[in-house]
Structure 1
Amino acid sequence: MADAAPRLHALVEQLLGAPFPVRVRTWDGSQAGPPGAPILVVRNRRALRRLLFKPGELGLARAWVAGDVEIEGDLYRALDLLSGLLWERGEDAPTLARSLRDPRFRAAVYGLLRLAGPPLPPAPPREEIHRTGHRHTRHTDRRAISHHYDVGNDFYALVLGPSMVYSCAYWESEDSTLELAQRDKLELVCRKLDLRPGSRLLDVGCGWGSLAVHAAREHGATVVGVTLSQEQAAFARKQVAEAGLTDRVDIRVQDYRDVTDEPFDAISSIGMAEHVGSARYLEYAQVLSALLRPGGRLLNHQIARRPQRDEAAYDVDAFIDAYVFPDGELAPVGTTVTQLERAGFEVRDVESIREHYALTLRRWVERLEDGWDRAVRLTGPGRARVWRLYMAASAVAFERNRIGVNQVLAVRTPASGGSGMPLRARTWN
């Protein structure tokens, strides 16, 4: 009998104690749920076994990456509807241990076990990272960066477009192009850092070299760019050579902690600090402070999460940690500002550009979907599915104010107290 979808939909609502807001279609062709809603396609019983073995986000992510589940219809709307169940239930949501004491909850679990069938859950998809050793050593940082950034420059070019900038763009309007918005972001960074001919810039986590080239070509700066990704460095060096800037831009495969040719007039850290980790963040800020001359500026562009009632209980996002940014950690913007100040910086400006990242991510998803067949050829179906889910879910998270992104401008103000900042600081506007 073709009744798996009605049974599954009813059992999920029994587990949640709330309506399940999307429609379900199962392997037997049956459907259930609100008409007109996006459809969660459950292709096989294996998907249920993944979810039962790892309840919550990680089990769902494994099923998605393996192709055991799919969304038909508006992916953003589906993620928006599901976000309240997966990510926004609050700190008072029932724990699994408390829920299992509820007879109705136990009955729903047993019903799902019967529907899923007897075999054990399959192994995680091969795209899931397997860790060894401690977090945020030089070795594990290199490995984590390689997992994310050494996917292939051709794949990143497909998603990011000609700018090859992998961080939040800066949009004048929603009708602008991705390339123009990324150029405006590079210009904004350079103007906040007050780069001038002869300024010496250290670009920490330089990516594919776009900021380094822009700073040298448009502002006359001399740039050292460091990355832990071999593929990024190779692409960046090619970009520098094609721009005729090899005398002014030095791209290195180097840990920022190993840079010794200070002092620098300015440091940019764009989308890199998320990889540092809370245990190492003060060290990160202190190293950057030591690399700057007195009066030098730091532009720290970083994603932030919302504060938790119990910060000690905070844990990283299971899907992103396993498939996207291994060992990445987000902190509230207030924590970031405090750590920079503890390291001796004077924080002069904080600008939130949360809505800009949602726009950027939607454009990246559009490019990925338009080039889907090529993306699959370049990286495999599992990796392409990781990226589609990660970027679409992140766009929804920025739109719903679950996470934000901030540019923090800080100065290594000397003992004399002269910051070098103009009286009306926002001269970059």
Structure 2
Amino acid sequence: MAASSPRRAAGLVDELGRLLLGAPIPLSVRCWDGSASVVDGAPTLVVRHRRALRRLVYAPGELGLARAYVSGDLDIEGDIYSALSFPDRMPARPELRLDRRALARLAGPLLRLGVVGPPPAPPPEEARLSGIRHSLGRDRRAIRHHYDVGNDFYRVLLGPSLVYSCAYFPEPAATLEQAQEAKLDLVCRKLDLRPGMRLLDVGCGWGSLALHAAARYGTSVTGVTISAAQAELATRRVAEAGLSELVEIRLQDYREVVDGPFDAIASVGMAEHVGLAQLPLYAARLHVLLRPGGRLLNHAIACGPAAGPDRPDPGSFLTRYVFPDGELQPLATHVRILEEAGFEVADVEALRRHYALTCRAWVSNLERRWDEAVRLSSPGRARVWRLYLAGSALAFEGHRVGVNQVLAIKPGSPGHDRLPLTRPDWSRRAVERAQGPGDGAA
């Protein structure tokens, strides 16, 4: 490691970094006043404006750093994964929170550099919700913040599949489209979909699972979402595919669905929005909507068991900019609540490594078409997604979070015992469909 002699702002940034990390920042630094410190081979932290440090003074931790990055006052040049992963390489992962008493010791340098001043306004991409958490109205506002940012932006980010959940990679070199095709088919196979069955797709997104189930399995699908943008595009995609007789997309909360029973229910990437307090109601409602003998596929991100139930941190980047009111629970919590609702858990599959690959593919999409993504949303919005997805990839790779598919059955019918005596090879057909004819599928 070789460092130049820092002067002025770069020296102050280095000192702030030591306060945050308890160790020197393993990144190069370049500041608005021309000062710099260089760490050979490391990405560069670019402090474009003294306002970045002012944000950190008023929100001395993750939120201040997030505001500085989203606003463009702070930037990263070089490999974003290397820039974000250094805390994982430290003996004890730092909390990224400044002690205000330690910060006060830097008052003189902060004043001399003109950092101290009125608190900057948060970037417009920051969410601030009001009302009762997980009420119908507040949930709609939370979903609108994340999903109603432009369907064309999501096409850039997600690719043609328009699937915004963990893909299923037949092999590491598979394309994102192949992996999403395999995931959709995996869900359908686990649910044992057949012609004439009714599927409820809870949190249907842009309709990709509904389209797959109808086109490949002849299943009648009701998809519900509380995102107006998703519902509009999903309905159009269904019509363009000529599947309007089999698929209905509704702008509706799952709590408002009353036309059960359904033969199968899929909930893919939706339970994270429910919240711990509402999970028993969620499971009980899906139990009512499912016929006896029917299957539920609950696909959800989970925090590690050591973390315990996740409480939304009002000062976290994820809460303010990505998923307002989103909560992660350990896998054991999901299983327990499903069982308490009356479900029999038949199978659990962990897909953590698949989600790391998925997030990296989405980051590649975003970076490859960066200018277009900015034009279709905003510079701040594109930066939110780059930071969120790169950080998520590292979280999955670092075992800090996981994602699991839980297959559950509602007892009460002879059909409830239709599962094979041995664990089925659900993945085989999913892989064959993703590879397509002539691609070497076994």
Name the TM tier (shorter chain): over 0.9
Partners in 2 of 1:380 and 1:312 — Cα distance?
30
Call closer, same or farther: CA 1:21–1:246 in 2, change over 3 Å. Answer: same
Secondary structure at the aligned position of 2:426 is classed as coil
Call closer, same or farther: CA 1:350–1:316 in 2, change over 3 Å. Answer: farther
Moved over 3 A (4+): 82-85, 93-96, 108-116, 308-317, 415-419
Give 1:4-403 correspondences, 5 Å limit.
Answer: 4-83=9-88, 88-89=93-94, 99=99, 106-108=104-106, 111-112=109-110, 115=113, 117-308=115-306, 315=313, 318-403=316-401
Secondary structure at the aligned position of 1:251 is classed as strand
Deviation at 1:425, TM superposition (A): 3.1
Letter of the 2:342 counterpart: G
Partners in 2 of 1:173 and 1:249 — Cα distance?
31
Deviation at 1:311, TM superposition (A): 5.0
Partners in 2 of 1:417 and 1:266 — Cα distance?
12
Partners in 2 of 1:199 and 1:168 — Cα distance?
25
Partners in 2 of 1:375 and 1:135 — Cα distance?
31
Conserved? CA contact 1:412–1:419, under 8 Å = no
Deviation at 1:108, TM superposition (A): 4.5
Partners in 2 of 1:341 and 1:297 — Cα distance?
13
Call closer, same or farther: CA 1:14–1:284 in 2, change over 3 Å. Answer: closer
Query: What are the Cα deviations for residues 175-208 of structure 1, in whole angstroms up to 9, with x where unaligned?
Result: 1111111000000000000001111100000001
Secondary structure at the aligned position of 2:417 is classed as coil
Conserved? CA contact 1:46–1:116, under 8 Å = no
Query: What are the Cα deviations for residues 57-113 of structure 1, in whole angstroms up to 9, with x where unaligned?
Result: 11111001100000011101101114567x933xxx6986xx567xx6652466556
Conserved? CA contact 1:205–1:270, under 8 Å = yes
Secondary structure at the aligned position of 1:119 is classed as coil
Conserved? CA contact 1:27–1:43, under 8 Å = yes
Letter of the 2:374 counterpart: V
Call closer, same or farther: CA 1:156–1:247 in 2, change over 3 Å. Answer: same
Partners in 1 of 2:24 and 2:344 — Cα distance?
49
Question: How many residues are matched?
Answer: 421
Conserved? CA contact 2:410–2:416, under 8 Å = no
Match of 2:406 in 1: 408
Conserved? CA contact 1:208–1:232, under 8 Å = yes
Partners in 2 of 1:367 and 1:269 — Cα distance?
26
Conserved? CA contact 1:307–1:332, under 8 Å = yes
TM-score, reference length from structure 2: 0.90
Deviation at 1:117, TM superposition (A): 2.4
Letter of the 2:393 counterpart: A
Partners in 2 of 1:411 and 1:2 — Cα distance?
65
Conserved? CA contact 1:11–1:112, under 8 Å = no
Partners in 2 of 1:316 and 1:426 — Cα distance?
43
Letter of the 2:131 counterpart: G
Call closer, same or farther: CA 1:368–1:16 in 2, change over 3 Å. Answer: closer
Letter of the 2:421 counterpart: L
Conserved? CA contact 2:303–2:310, under 8 Å = no
Call closer, same or farther: CA 1:142–1:166 in 2, change over 3 Å. Answer: same
Q: CA RMSD in A?
A: 2.3
Conserved? CA contact 2:322–2:388, under 8 Å = yes
Conserved? CA contact 2:311–2:327, under 8 Å = no
Q: Percent identity?
A: 58
Secondary structure at the aligned position of 1:25 is classed as strand
Deviation at 1:29, TM superposition (A): 1.7
Call closer, same or farther: CA 1:210–1:78 in 2, change over 3 Å. Answer: same
Partners in 1 of 2:310 and 2:426 — Cα distance?
38
Secondary structure at the aligned position of 2:264 is classed as strand
Deviation at 1:368, TM superposition (A): 1.0
Letter of the 1:72 counterpart: E
Letter of the 2:21 counterpart: L
Conserved? CA contact 1:227–1:254, under 8 Å = yes
Partners in 2 of 1:161 and 1:393 — Cα distance?
20
Letter of the 2:200 counterpart: L
Conserved? CA contact 1:267–1:297, under 8 Å = yes
Conserved? CA contact 2:20–2:97, under 8 Å = no
Q: Where in structure 2 are there 5+ consecutive unaligned residues?
A: 1-5, 428-442
